[in-house]
Structure 1
């Protein structure tokens, strides 16, 4: 008997993500495996669309920026002195940081977007912020989640590091 996508199942998807014009954003080389049921492992709109689906069924979910990675926030751009960074620095490198307006709980990943002589421009927005996205996926596997996975709220691949 085949299982349907439902709360506390581990779902495996083949997927890709495009922009509304069909330009590939993420070709989904690796299958996406997540714990279904409101654990924030995947965007809620996608989870909703997959509820009750069987292996082999596909869904296409069109998401506005607020449904995906949020609107682009110009306040998350920071300009820092070049001397604050390692000597080896390239555009695209990522650093953890706290936004100037945030507290220590608001750690973001900042991407280096520009390097000038004595300044570095950092962007704390997700690279896909501000973009509408089309998520296309096919369910390739559904299994019951283990008690430990449910307790931790995510799929276990053996090296979770939580007790």
Structure 2
């Protein structure tokens, strides 16, 4: 599934500080008594178990029962809304987090649609919904979608696939440790 390519990106892209809900959305936290006194804070390496859903409440992706997702808190490796909501949690804590588009992958940007000649796109992608992988100016992989096919051109959508979407995370903090020193 093409969304799998964004498995870590669903948590790890975009300019990803208190444990508050986003846009007034309810937040539920469950703390395990006797858990480590170490809490999620800037510079800590955090391992999570998570499930991500969209408005339709279907699971988009999950790592429950698989390898934990690990990130460095405060390093903008996950979406900002999720990072803010995790601040202050301890090992064993569970939380439901609602992340509005502005604190996730942003709103859909109409300027991110670009019309290009068909000759610049593989023929097999000359259909609405086709997905293409391209390299951005910084060399990072990005997923493009064909949104319209015209006589001599196609319209590509450069927005992140989750742009404009509210994200619903169920998370559990599995481990918190000091971040590894940067390699020289």
Q: How does the TM-score come out when normalised to structure 2?
A: 0.65
In the other structure, the counterpart of 2:169 is 135
The 3-state SS of whatever aligns with 2:182 is helix
How far did residue 24 of structure 1 move? 1.9
**CA displacement, residues 67-96 of structure 1 (integer Å, 9 cap, x when unaligned):** 111111122111211112345647112223
**CA displacement, residues 87-141 of structure 1 (integer Å, 9 cap, x when unaligned):** 56471122235xxxxxx67x88351325746423211111011111111110111
Would you say the 8 A contact 2:81–2:100 is kept in 1?
no
2: CA distance between counterparts of 1:81 and 1:11? Answer: 45
1: CA distance between counterparts of 2:122 and 2:147? Answer: 15
Q: 2:116 aligned with 1:77, yes or no? A: no
Question: What is the root-mean-square deviation in Å for CA atoms of aligned residues?
Answer: 2.7
Structure having greater relative contact order (Cα 8 Å, sep ≥ 6): 1
Would you say the 8 A contact 2:131–2:145 is kept in 1?
yes
Residue from 53, 60, 74 that aligns with 1:25? 60
Pairing of 1:57-76 with structure 2 (within 5 A): 57-76=93-112
Q: Where does structure 1 lack aligned partners over 5 or more consecutive residues?
A: 98-103, 150-162
The count of corresponding residues between Structure 1 and Structure 2 is 142
Pairing of 1:1-163 with structure 2 (within 5 A): 2=36, 3-28=38-63, 30-36=67-73, 38-86=74-122, 89=125, 91-97=130-136, 109-114=142-147, 116=149, 118-148=152-182, 163=184
Would you say the 8 A contact 2:134–2:143 is kept in 1?
yes
How far did residue 55 of structure 1 move? 1.6
Q: Where does structure 2 lack aligned partners over 5 or more consecutive residues?
A: 1-34
Q: How does the TM-score come out when normalised to structure 1?
A: 0.73
